[in-house]
């Protein structure tokens, strides 16, 4: 249960202001079809985070528990620094070529999540907890908690969030998690 809850909270907070959350906002504004967008975000996140979690668990097999804790701890400290640098959406990632809201979101979201801080956090948490299902379920749930309100409430909701404070809180969470694993 701890792996699920830590993964959920870490990813939900890390996703605030992230490029994939901005992408959710752009797709919601463009298509105005929240259900296909949410369904595509869910499927893209499951696929992406399952791969990341599998890599994390597989990588963890080659490390001693102490070295693994240090690696995960240092990665969480790195995530703290990365979280303080807000993402921006570059270019127009919403070109659809007639594929509709679902396909555009599925493809764009999966690609945007590759190498993203939430994907890296998922890999690190899976390595640290050795529980692929709990971590992927938690990180996917956290991703959905952060993106569903954006999709349904659009720019009015996102504009009212205190993003600087959220980034500082997220960075603090990563520092605490990093220290926890290192100690």
User: What digits encode the pLDDT tens for the residues 111-143?
Assistant: 888 878 888 889 989 988 889 999 999 999 999
Per-domain residue ranges for the chain? Answer: 2-182
Write out 125-181 in H/E/C secondary structure: HHHHHCCHHHHHHHHHHHHHHHHHHHHHHHHHHHHCCCHHHHHHHHHHHHHHHHHHH
For the whole model, what pTM was predicted?
Answer: 0.72
Higher per-residue confidence, 84 vs 35: 35
Structure confidence at residue 117 (pLDDT): 83
Question: What is the C-alpha to C-alpha distance for residues 112 and 39, in angstroms, rounded to an integer?
Answer: 16
Digit-coded pLDDT (tens) for 148-182: 998 988 755 555 656 677 667 767 776 887 787 78
Structure confidence at residue 172 (pLDDT): 79
Higher per-residue confidence, 183 vs 34: 34
What the block records as the tokens of 53 is 């979690």
Digit-coded pLDDT (tens) for 26-37: 788 778 789 999
């Amino acid at each position: 249960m701890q792996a699920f809850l830590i993964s959920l909270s870490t990813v939900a907070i890390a996703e605030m202001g992230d490029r994939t959350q901005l992408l959710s906002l752009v797709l919601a504004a463009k298509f105005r079809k929240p259900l296909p967008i949410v369904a595509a975000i869910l499927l893209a996140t499951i696929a992406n985070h399952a791969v990341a979690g599998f890599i994390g668990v597989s990588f963890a097999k080659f490390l001693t528990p102490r070295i693994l804790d240090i690696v995960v701890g240092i990665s969480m400290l790195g995530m703290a620094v990365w979280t303080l640098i807000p993402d921006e959406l570059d270019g127009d990632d919403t070109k659809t070529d007639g594929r509709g809201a679902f396909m555009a979101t599925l493809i764009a979201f999966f690609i945007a999540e590759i190498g993203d801080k939430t994907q890296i956090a998922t890999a690190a948490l899976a390595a640290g907890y050795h529980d692929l299902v709990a971590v992927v379920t938690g990180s996917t749930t956290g991703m959905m908690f952060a993106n569903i309100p954006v999709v349904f409430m659009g720019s009015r909701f996102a504009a009212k969030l205190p993003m600087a404070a959220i980034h500082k809180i997220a960075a603090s969470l990563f520092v605490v998690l990093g220290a926890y694993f290192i100690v």
